[in-house]
Amino acid sequence: MSSADPDRPKDAPHGEAVPAAAPLREPGLIPPEDLVNGLRFNHILEMQTKQHVAELSASFYALLETLIARGQVPLDDYERRRQATLGREIERARGEALVAISEEPDKYALGDLPQIDCEARLPLCKARCCTFVFPLSAQDLDERVVRWDYGRPYQIGRRQDGYCVHNQPGSCGCTVYAQRPAVCRTYDCRRDPRVWVDFDGRVPAP
- Residues 60-97: tens digit of each pLDDT: 888 888 988 888 888 888 888 888 888 888 787 766 76
Q: Determine, yes or no, domain membership for 67.
A: yes
Tally the domains of the chain.
2
Phi, psi of 34 (to 5 degrees): -70, -40
Q: Determine, yes or no, domain membership for 162.
A: yes
Domain match, 128 and 179 both:
yes
CA distance 169 to 153: 24
Domain match, 184 and 133 both:
yes
CA distance 28 to 126: 45
Dihedral of CA 83/86/92/94: which sign? negative
- Look up the domain containing 81 and give its range: 32-93
Q: Determine, yes or no, domain membership for 6.
A: no
The per-residue pLDDT for 86 is 85
Chain segment 160-193, per-residue pLDDT in tens? 999 999 999 999 999 999 999 999 999 999 999 9
Q: Determine, yes or no, domain membership for 22.
A: no
